[in-house]
């Protein structure tokens, strides 16, 4: 199993450009998340999807949109990138173990380092 995968690994954008960060998981998890990580601020939740077909705002949703394409994939879109969105972006997933047991552990992808000039 690959676990949680993210593309791209690195990206440089100019202010005003748009892009989509892709995330996929092969663990049959119901819930998926997008975080951003900035120095000294920990991991902040941008958006999450509790289950396929639903999405909700997290702590810092402004400037972002998400799509839960199917159970495996959860994408994050920046419509008009700003320098304040320079950050490392992590996708994560969690859910039951497949045996009906609630399993809260979140598994993280390798991250995308985004720079907006």
Partner 1 sequence: GENVEQHPSTLSVQEGDSAVIKCTYSDSASNYFPWYKQELGKRPQLIIDIRSNVGEKKDQRIAVTLNKTAKHFSLHITETQPEDSAVYFCAATTPLNYNQGGKLIFGQGTELSVKP
Give the interface with partner 1 as residue ranges (CB under 8 A): 29-31, 33, 35, 40-45, 48, 50-51, 58-59, 90, 93-96, 100, 102-106, 108-111
Cβ 34 to partner 1 shortest distance, Å: 12
Nearer to partner 1, 26 or 105 (CB): 105
Cβ 117 to partner 1 shortest distance, Å: 22
Nearer to partner 1, 11 or 96 (CB): 96
Cβ 15 to partner 1 shortest distance, Å: 26
Please state the three-class secondary structure of the chain as a single string. Answer: CCCEEEECCEEEECCCCCEEEEEEECCCCCEEEEEEECCCCCEEEEEEECCCCCCEECCCCCCEEEEECCCCEEEEEECCCCHHHCEEEEEEEECCCCCCCCCCCCEECCCEEEEEC
Nearer to partner 1, 19 or 50 (CB): 50
């Amino acid at each position: 199993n690959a676990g949680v995968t993210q593309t791209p690994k690195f990206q440089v954008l100019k202010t005003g450009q748009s892009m989509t960060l892709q995330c996929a998981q092969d663990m049959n998890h119901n819930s998926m998340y997008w975080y951003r990580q900035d120095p000294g601020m920990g991991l902040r939740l941008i958006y999450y999807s509790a289950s396929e077909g639903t999405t909700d705002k997290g702590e810092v949703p402004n400037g972002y949109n998400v799509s839960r394409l199917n159970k495996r994939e959860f994408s994050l879109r920046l419509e008009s990138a700003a320098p304040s969105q320079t950050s490392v972006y992590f996708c994560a997933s969690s859910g039951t173990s497949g045996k009906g047991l609630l399993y809260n552990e979140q598994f993280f992808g390798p991250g995308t380092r985004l720079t907006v000039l």
